[in-house]
Structure 1
Amino acid sequence: MKIGVPIEIKNNENRVGMTPSGVFELTKRDHEVYVQKNAGFNSGFLDEDYIKAGATILDTIEAVYDIAEMIVKVKEPIEPEYKLIKKDQVVFTYFHFASSEVLTNAMIDSKAICIAYETVEDADGTLPLLIPMSEVAGRMSIQQGAKYLEKPIKGRGILLGGVPGVPPAKVLILGAGVVGYQAAKMAAGLGALVIIMDINMKALRYVSDSMPNNVISEFSSEYNIRKHIKDADLIIGGVLIKGAKAPKLITRDMLKDMRPGTVMVDVAVDQGGCFETTKPTTHQDPTYIIDEVVHYSVANMPGAVPYTSTMALTNVTLPYVIKLANEGWERACENNAPLAKGLNIVKGKIVYKEIAEAFDMEMSF
């Protein structure tokens, strides 16, 4: 199979869809890999590395899309890429369709086979291709939140862990999944007081059993959220409903109950965000302020640490890329139930229920 790895053109997206090691695993199986010139540069991988692994370097993104039977990338295609995607071409990437009707319609019109990393699902319900980026984003949410609590960037002017004689910051985390757990681990390690909320008692029990004493688990409800936002310094949104829009757990009217300089980091922004006031931002312009509350909602947080993120992503995506290349998408999905759940849009038809429901569209069974 001919596999293309283009440069990511989303704002400040520094990751790349495949490492040279991944390329080597494909070329030794007699597949052809075409990598756009400098695609891996911002992740620390040179064209020479890809050439040594057996790849062919192409000068333009158009050339990569034109020759490839399968495109392997990181982020969803953006408008300049829509016209490059061909009928029957496999596109394997993070799509997050439920957050963008424009993208959904563009991929329907392309007649391509769209396989989304974020909906590949194991038998136990886990999302193996989403987990590593959720781990990165969860940890980064605290790193970024701590920075934006500083007064020069309109935060409350509070040090997350405090100092002797001065209490630490209070961190409220919504969701005890991968993002929330990793955020709690980082915040606890810095010495903050952490409240982590969820409606899944199994997840809350795990948090209680495995976290230090400065992490407190609590059942999530509107009443409890309203109680804690009044004195929270940093609020992390880490809620995920597989393939669907995130629920709005903090509404616009709640902002008036927060203290000026409170920071909200919405890791769920890719799925529409779990704060009503969320709008996607970029690493170039990451924050905005509403009612004196600082909002951070960068839609590709792991793109700021591309070496770590690219390595972690290729570790989990490569086995599926190899299956798709060896067997073709139809047989690979027939033989692999987790991969089949990654099918979102196939030849102009929506085949994933939550996407159809998000936009009240017809689903093909």
Structure 2
Amino acid sequence: MIIGIPKEIKNNENRVALTPAGAQELVKRGHTVYIQETAGIGSGFPDHMYTEAGAKILPTISEVYQIAEMIMKVKEPIEAEYDLIREDQLLFTYFHFASYEPLTKAMLKSKSICLAYETVESIHGGLPLLVPMSEVAGRMATQKGANYLEKPLGGKGILMGGVPGTLPAKVMILGGGVVGTQAAWMAAGMKADVTILDVSLPRMRYLSDVMPANVKTRMSNEYNIREMIQTADLIIGAVLIPGAKAPHLITRDMLKDMQPGTVLVDVAVDQGGCIETCKPTTHEDPTFIIDDVLHYCVANMPGAVPYTSTIALTNATLPYALQLAEKGWKKAAQDNYELAKGLNVIHGEVVYKAVADAFDLNYTPVEKYLVG
């Protein structure tokens, strides 16, 4: 198969979809890898590392799209890429369709095959291609939150762990999944007073067993949320419903109950956000303030640490990319339930129900393309 790796052109996105090591694994199995010139430079991988691994360099993004049977990316295609995508071309990347209707409609129009990292799902319900970036984003959420609690940046002027004779910051984490767990570990390590809210008792029992003493758990409901936001210093949104929009657990009216300088970090912003007042921001202009509450809602947080993120992502995606390259998308999805769950759009039809529901679009079961 011919695999194309375009340079990411989303604002301040320095990751790349494949490391030189990943390219070498594909090439030694007989596949051809084309990578756009300087696509890996932001992650610390110059062009010569790819050519030494057997990949070929192309100067423009249009040439990469034109020649490739499978496009591997990190972030969803943006508007400048829509017309480059061909009918029957396989796109393997993060899409987060349910949060952005124009992207969904553009991919339907292209009649391409869209296989979304974020909905590849194991038989146990895990999301193996979302996990590595969720781990990065969760740890960064605490890191960024601690930074923005500083007074010159708009926060309350609180040190996360305090010092002897002072109280530590109160960190409230909505969701005890991968993002929430990683955020809690970081906040705990900084000696903050941490509470994770979740709706699953088994998950909270597990977290209570593995977390240090300065991390507590509490049932996630409106009553508890409204009570806790009154004294929280840093609130991290870490809610995920696979392939669907995140619910608004913090609504606009709740901001009036927060103290000035409270910091909100919404990691769920890729899927619409779990904080109603959050809207996607960029690394270039990451924050805004509403009602004296600071919002950090960068939609590609792991893009700020591209070396770590690119290696972590390739570690997870490469086994699936090899299956797709060796078998083609249809046979690979027939043989592997996890890849079948990743299919969102095929030949102008939505085949993932949560995406269809988000925009009231016609839904076609994926089995139409996989059976027989």
TM-score for the superposition, normalised by structure 2: 0.98
Residue in 2 aligned with 1:235? 235
- Structure 1 Cα separation of the partners of residues 167 and 153 of structure 2: 21
The code of the aligned residue for 1:351 comes to V
Tell me the secondary structure at the aligned position of residue 194 of structure 1: strand
- Structure 2 Cα separation of the partners of residues 201 and 179 of structure 1: 18
Residue in 1 aligned with 2:353? 353
- Structure 2 Cα separation of the partners of residues 207 and 173 of structure 1: 13
Shift of 1:153: 1.0
Residue in 2 aligned with 1:298? 298
Residue in 1 aligned with 2:49? 49
Shift of 1:154: 1.0
In structure 1, the gaps of 5 or more residues are none
Shift of 1:202: 1.3
Deviation track 1:125-156 (CA, whole Å, cap 9, x = no partner) reads: 00000000000000000000001111111110
Give 1:53-72 correspondences, 5 Å limit: 53-72=53-72
Residue in 2 aligned with 1:28? 28
The code of the aligned residue for 2:56 comes to T
Residue in 1 aligned with 2:332? 332
Deviation track 1:208-260 (CA, whole Å, cap 9, x = no partner) reads: 00011110100100000000000000000000001000000000000000000
Shift of 1:31: 0.5
Deviation track 1:144-196 (CA, whole Å, cap 9, x = no partner) reads: 00011111111101001101111100000000000000000000000000010
Residue in 2 aligned with 1:219? 219
Tell me the secondary structure at the aligned position of residue 168 of structure 2: coil
- Structure 1 Cα separation of the partners of residues 24 and 154 of structure 2: 47
Shift of 1:203: 1.1
Give 1:105-120 correspondences, 5 Å limit: 105-120=105-120
Runs of 4+ in 1 over 2 A off after TM superposition: none
Tell me the secondary structure at the aligned position of residue 246 of structure 2: coil
- Structure 1 Cα separation of the partners of residues 132 and 23 of structure 2: 20
Residue in 2 aligned with 1:137? 137
Residue in 2 aligned with 1:8? 8
Aligned pair 1:74/2:74, yes or no? yes
Tell me the secondary structure at the aligned position of residue 115 of structure 2: strand
The code of the aligned residue for 1:296 comes to Y
Give 1:163-182 correspondences, 5 Å limit: 163-182=163-182
Residue in 1 aligned with 2:122? 122
Give 1:265-344 correspondences, 5 Å limit: 265-344=265-344
Residue in 1 aligned with 2:262? 262
The code of the aligned residue for 1:297 comes to C
The code of the aligned residue for 2:47 comes to D
Aligned pair 1:90/2:58, yes or no? no
The code of the aligned residue for 1:226 comes to R
- Structure 2 Cα separation of the partners of residues 339 and 164 of structure 1: 52
Q: Percent of counterpart pairs with the same letter? A: 67
Tell me the secondary structure at the aligned position of residue 328 of structure 1: helix
The code of the aligned residue for 2:346 comes to V
Shift of 1:71: 0.2
Tell me the secondary structure at the aligned position of residue 85 of structure 1: coil
Q: How many corresponding residue pairs? A: 365
- Structure 2 Cα separation of the partners of residues 195 and 26 of structure 1: 44
- Structure 2 Cα separation of the partners of residues 343 and 211 of structure 1: 35
Tell me the secondary structure at the aligned position of residue 255 of structure 1: helix
Residue in 1 aligned with 2:150? 150
Shift of 1:272: 0.1
TM-score for the superposition, normalised by structure 1: 1.00
In structure 2, the gaps of 5 or more residues are 366-372
Deviation track 1:86-134 (CA, whole Å, cap 9, x = no partner) reads: 0000000000000000000000000000000000000100000000000
- Structure 1 Cα separation of the partners of residues 360 and 56 of structure 2: 43
- Structure 1 Cα separation of the partners of residues 358 and 202 of structure 2: 28
- Structure 1 Cα separation of the partners of residues 171 and 183 of structure 2: 9
Shift of 1:25: 0.4
- Structure 2 Cα separation of the partners of residues 96 and 203 of structure 1: 25
- Structure 2 Cα separation of the partners of residues 143 and 281 of structure 1: 17
